Each structure stands twice: as C-alpha cells, then as structure tokens.
C-alpha cells in the first residue's frame, strides 16, 4: 500500500478515522462531498 503523508490516523483524534494531516477533516468527509457533487475547486476554497 502506498504511503500517504498527507493522511494521518491517530486513535485519539476523530475516533481514529483517517484525517487530512493537521486538520480535523476526515477522508470520509472529503469523499462524501465529492460523491455529493461538490467540485475539487469548491472543496479547496471552502465555498
């Protein structure tokens, strides 16, 4: 499996779910937003 340095996982942060490094944004949140039709540009700008 590839080593992604931008994704971290710690048991005491966000229930151990994989997060974007240094943020309390889970990978699942990002994938869910993309699945709902939010564009990458919208995600990055927070619009």
Tokens matching residue 2: 């590839």
- pLDDT: which is higher, 3 or 44: 44
For residue 27, the enclosing domain spans 7-45
Q: Fill in the DSSP letter of residue 8.
A: E
pLDDT band at residue 47 using 50, 70 and 90 as cut-offs: low
- pLDDT: which is higher, 1 or 14: 14
Using one digit for the tens of pLDDT, what is the confidence trace for 6-46?
999 999 999 999 999 999 999 999 999 999 999 999 998 97
pTM of the model: 0.76
2 is a domain residue = no
Residue 29: which CATH number?
1.10.10.10
- Number of independent structural domains in the chain: 1
35 is a domain residue = yes
23 is a domain residue = yes
Helix (H, G, I), strand (E, B) or coil at 35: helix
Tokens matching residue 5: 């340095």
22 is a domain residue = yes
1 is a domain residue = no
The pLDDT assigned to 46 comes to: 76
Q: Under a CB-based contact definition with an 8 Å cutoff, are residues 14 and 29 in contact?
A: no
């Amino acid at each position: 499996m590839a080593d992604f340095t931008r994704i971290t996982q710690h048991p005491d942060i966000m229930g151990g779910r994989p997060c974007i490094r240094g943020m309390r944004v889970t990978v699942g949140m990002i994938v869910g937003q993309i699945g709902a039709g939010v564009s990458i540009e919208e995600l990055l700008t927070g619009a």
